Chain A
Amino acid sequence: MIYGKHIRFRAVEHDDLPTLLKWVNDPEVQQGISIYLPLSMADEEDWFTGVRKRSPEERNLVIEIRKPEQDSDVFTWMMIGGCGFFNYDLRNHSTEFGIMIGDKSCWNQGYGTEAVRLLAQHGFNSLNLNRIHLRVLENNPRAIRAYEKAGFTYEGRQRQAEFKDGKYIDLLVMSILKEEYI
């Protein structure tokens, strides 16, 4: 388990699949990700099997937030999204990552930014990475702002590298280096 101030990352469990499926099929969530076809529970099962075959560093994580129980000192943890590294390059100590806050009631509350910071901390301090980068759609200012707040720098623009709603749109590449993180 990887703990931040208000959030934590845990491994994906089979029981998470129905929730993840609901999110990736949500048109509003799909605006920010690369999924554009309806996904079935069977697809989601295949994805889960695939995750477990990936190297440990690249297995997807579930993002949870701490929720105080009513009239109590105890906390429960509520799943709000997922994240993970991919295109992990061992020799160059470099990786790409993806993140999704699927629970829309948790948007615009800083959880995405905190999750990105925690993922960068995990990448640099545990995995010994030197470079972490991401690609984000140009029409997703909320995400771009979160990456900037988490310390990411704009590197460039992959022109017409995505197709959504009848037209080509650009993908922005952003990154953070270990020397910038420290």
Chain B
Amino acid sequence: MIIGERVRFRGVERADIPKFVEWLNDPEVQEGILIHYPMSQAEEEGWFDRMLSRPVDEHVMAIEVKEQAPDGDTETWKFVGSCAFDHINWHIRAAEFGIIIGESSYWNRGFGTDAVRLLVQHGFNTLNLNRIFLHVFETNPRAIRAYEKAGFTLEVRERQAEFKHGKYIDVLLMSILKEEFERNAEAA
């Protein structure tokens, strides 16, 4: 388990698959991701099995948000999304990542930013990475803002790199380097 203040990451379980099917078929969620076709439970099961056969450091992690139980005392954790590193290059010590907050009632509350911060911390402090980057659609200002708040810098505008709703849109490449992560940690 990777535990932050408001969010934590745990391994994805087979029992989580129906939630993924629900989220990935949500048109609002699809606005921000690469999936553009109806996703079936069977396809998602195939995705889960393929994921398990990949290197452990690229396994998908479930994002959970800390909540108070109604009795006010005990903590419960609510499953709201997922994230993972992808294409880890151990020679360059660089990795890309992807993230979704599938529970739309949890949008605009800073949980995405918290999850990105926790993933970055895991990447630099545990995986010993030097560079972490991501791709985001120019049409997704909420995500771009979250990445900026988590310390990411815009590097490249890949012009017309994605086709959505009948037209080409730009894809932004953003990154954070270890030296920036350490500087931010000192400043905080």
List A residues at the B interface (Cβ < 8 Å).
36, 91-94, 130-131, 133, 153, 155-163, 168, 173, 175, 177
Once the chains bind, are A158 and B161 in contact (CB under 8 Å)?
A: no
Q: Which of A36, A94, A157, A159 contacts B177 (CB 8 A)?
A: A159
How many chain B residues sit at the interface, stated as a range, is 20 to 34
Contacts of A168 in B (CB 8 A): 92, 130-131
Q: How far is the CA of A36 from the CA of B93 in the complex (A)?
A: 15
Query: 3 closest A-B pairs (Cβ-Cβ)?
Result: A156-B156, A173-B156, A156-B155
Of the residues B91, B133, B161, contact of A163 by C-beta under 8 Å = B91
Mostly, the B contact residues are strand
Which A residues are CB-close (under 8 A) to B175? 158-159
| Residue among A92, A153, A157, A159 making CB contact with B161, cutoff 8 Å | A92
Q: Which of B36, B131, B158 contacts A161 (CB 8 A)?
A: B131
Interface string of B121-164 (1 = CB under 8 A from A): 00000000011010000000000000000000111111111110
Candidate in A131, A159, A173, A175 with the most chain B CB atoms within 10 angstroms: A159
Given contacts A36-B91, A155-B157, A163-B93, 13 further A-B contacts (CB under 8 A): A130-B168, A153-B159, A155-B158, A156-B157, A157-B155, A158-B155, A160-B92, A160-B94, A160-B131, A163-B91, A163-B92, A168-B92, A177-B159
* A160-B163 in contact (CB<8A): no
User: CA of A12 to CA of B95 in the docked complex: distance in angstroms?
Assistant: 32
**A92-B158 contact in complex given A160-B177, A161-B131, C-beta closer than 8 Å:** no
A133 to B158, CA, bound (A): 9
Answer whether A158 and B162 are a contact pair too, CB < 8 Å, given A130-B168, A163-B91, A168-B130. Answer: no
